[in-house]
């Protein structure tokens, strides 16, 4: 009669030996799959782009560090501005995308473009708002911040000419 304990030990040894033989094959298979895996972060999904737009709207229309200095924009206007900023930044970043790139550099361009355009927008709007009550209609708010953060107005350009 065979000892049931020794049969179980032999069965466990056989299973362990079989698992050890399969383990290197599984590791090799997993390694091959990972080597063929490519992670691309550009272009962002529409869901990501929508999240960026929503965050821009929130930043432009609610109290923030930016609004303390330049004021808030009404939510309806902020929505239109945010969509425009995101679309322009996406176009600029997309134009510099190459198939060999993993997308990190392009994502940085996209992010910087959004920040730059958002700041230009709030500066121009603040300059236009500040100029309107004083009656100075000559201020060209589209050039606000164009020269290293300095405001350039049409009247100062005319005076220099």
Assess if residue 1 is contained within a domain. yes
Residue 99 shares a structural domain with residue 129: yes
Residue 103 shares a structural domain with residue 51: yes
Residue 28 shares a structural domain with residue 62: no
pLDDT of residue 54: 98
pLDDT of residue 146: 38
Task: For residues 42 and 33, give the distance between their C-alpha atoms in angstroms, rounded to a whole number.
Answer: 21
Q: What is the pLDDT along the chain (161 residues), one digit of tens a residue?
A: 555 555 556 666 655 566 566 667 777 777 777 777 666 788 899 999 999 999 999 999 999 888 999 999 999 999 999 999 999 999 999 998 777 777 888 999 999 999 999 999 999 999 998 887 654 444 444 333 333 333 333 333 333 33
Residue 55 shares a structural domain with residue 32: no
Residue 72 shares a structural domain with residue 11: no
Residue 65 shares a structural domain with residue 6: no
Residues β-bridged to residue 147: 150
**Total number of domains in the chain:** 2
Assess if residue 55 is contained within a domain. yes
Residue 83 shares a structural domain with residue 14: no
Which range of residues forms the domain containing residue 123?
46-139
Please choose, from the candidates 76, 56, 72, the residue with its C-alpha nearest in 3D space to the C-alpha of residue 116. 56
Residue 123 shares a structural domain with residue 67: yes
Residue 54 shares a structural domain with residue 73: yes
Assess if residue 155 is contained within a domain. no
Residue 55 shares a structural domain with residue 8: no
Residue 82 shares a structural domain with residue 128: yes
Task: For residues 33 and 3, give the distance between their C-alpha atoms in angstroms, rounded to a whole number.
Answer: 45
């Amino acid at each position: 009669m065979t000892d049931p304990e020794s049969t179980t030990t032999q069965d466990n040894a056989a299973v362990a030996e079989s698992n050890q033989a399969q383990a290197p094959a599984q590791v090799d298979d997993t390694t091959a799959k990972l080597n063929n895996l490519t992670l691309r972060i550009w272009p962002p999904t529409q869901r990501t782009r929508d999240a960026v737009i929503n965050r821009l709207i929130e930043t432009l229309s609610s109290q923030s560090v930016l609004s303390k200095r330049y004021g808030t924009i009404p939510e309806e206007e902020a929505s239109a501005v945010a969509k425009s900023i995101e679309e322009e930044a996406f176009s600029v970043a997309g134009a510099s995308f190459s198939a060999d790139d993993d997308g990190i550099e392009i994502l940085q361009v996209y992010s910087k473009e959004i920040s730059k355009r958002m700041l230009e927008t709030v500066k121009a709007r603040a300059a236009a708002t500040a100029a309107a009550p004083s009656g100075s209609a000559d201020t060209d708010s589209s050039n606000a911040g164009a020269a290293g953060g300095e405001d350039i107005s049409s009247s100062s350009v005319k005076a220099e000419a």
